[in-house]
Amino acid sequence: MDEVTGSLSHYPNFSSKNVPPRDIWVWTPIPFDPKGSTKYNILFCHDGQNLFDPALSYSGVDWGMDETLTRLINSGEVSPTLVVGIANTRQRVLEYMPQKALEGASAEKIQLRIDQLRIKGDVNSDAYLKFIFEELKPYIDKNFPTHADFGHSYMLGSSMGGLISMYALCEYPALLSGVACLSTHWPIGEGVSLRYFRNHIPPPDGHKFYFDYGTRTLDSQYDVYQKRADRILREKGYQPGKDWVTWKWEGADHSEKSWRDRLDTPLKFLLG
């Protein structure tokens, strides 16, 4: 593993009653005193193997989460935060696809798309979120000096990870205060998750949504869907720049490098 800025604890094969075991990484900044008076925000991140080490990232490029967050904490631009990186598994699409969005006539269409990806099984994102909020979060709160109350837990993901982050805030609004959804993969199922989003988005009271997308490769498909999501946010009372932002990054593609390059923007919006 490349040298990490800060401290990284690895929990291999973290067990669960709800989903298959997976690796978990917990990053803490320096200085960090587990018995001191400082309390920390929690930032849950999907595709956790891509955050800190290029050797673990499927593309050979990591997000530089440790360097970026260290710089922002030290400059006072964000409050003290620890990161919980949750590795994906072979069931990534099944765990990240919003399960309740499949209720109705679109379910067969989504399942066909998943079958075409040669992924066996049923969508189980409800169980995945249950793992995060009923098993993983209590473990982190017990073993690290976190703010356990509302207003200090956040989530971040890209592509399908952006989709499940949106879903998490809608399903657990009392436990999660803000999400960053980078290059959200709205097109799966021809945007079926937007219907769910309209019907389940929580009121803006204390909640934040960050969305973004690029203009190249897979991200070139996202503009029309994100504009529909933005209309929903406005209709539900979210105020641009306060409760929600959407950034369009000209020239950015669908890659770890692009997300790394702009990571400071969602972190400052959520944690500033």
pLDDT digits (tens, 9 = 90+) for 117-142: 556 678 899 999 999 999 999 999 99
> pLDDT-based confidence at 103, cuts 50/70/90?
confident
Residue 271: predicted pLDDT: 97
d(C-alpha 142, C-alpha 199), whole Å: 34
- Which residues have C-beta within 8 Å of that of residue 134, sequence separation ≥ 6? 18
54, pLDDT greater than 70: yes
pLDDT of residue 4: 86
100 CB contacts (<8 Å, ≥6 apart)?
126, 167, 171, 196, 200
- Segment 249-255 shows an average pLDDT of 98
E strand or H helix at 10: strand 7-14
Length of the chain: 272
User: Alpha-carbon distance 41 to 20, whole Å?
Assistant: 26
pLDDT > 70: percent of the chain:
93
Sheet holding 244-249, edge to edge: 7-14, 22-28, 81-86, 41-45, 153-158, 178-182, 208-214, 244-249
Contacts of residue 147, defined as CB under 8 A and 6 or more positions apart, other chains included, come to 39, 40, 41, 42, 153
pLDDT of residue 24: 98
Least confident of 73-77, 109-113, 250-254: 109-113
Residue 144: DSSP 8-state: S
User: b/e string for 206-237 if b means 16 or more Cβ within 10 A?
Assistant: ebbbbbbbbeeeebeebeebbeebbeebeeee
Q: Return the number of other C-beta atoms located less than 10 Å from residue 9's C-beta.
A: 12
Q: What is the pLDDT of residue 124?
A: 93
Which helix (H) or strand (E) segment holds residue 112: the answer is helix 107-116
Closest CA to 185 of 167, 201, 172, 203: 167
Confidence of residue 1 (pLDDT cuts 50, 70, 90): low
Q: How confident is the model at residue 109 (pLDDT cuts 50, 70, 90)?
A: low
In this prediction, residue 182 has a pLDDT band, given cuts at 50, 70 and 90, of very high
Tell me the C-alpha distance between 99 and 79, whole Å: 33
For residues 8 and 28, give the distance between their C-alpha atoms in angstroms, rounded to a whole number: 7
pLDDT tens digits along 143-168: 999 997 888 999 999 999 999 999 99
CATH of domain 7-271: 3.40.50.1820
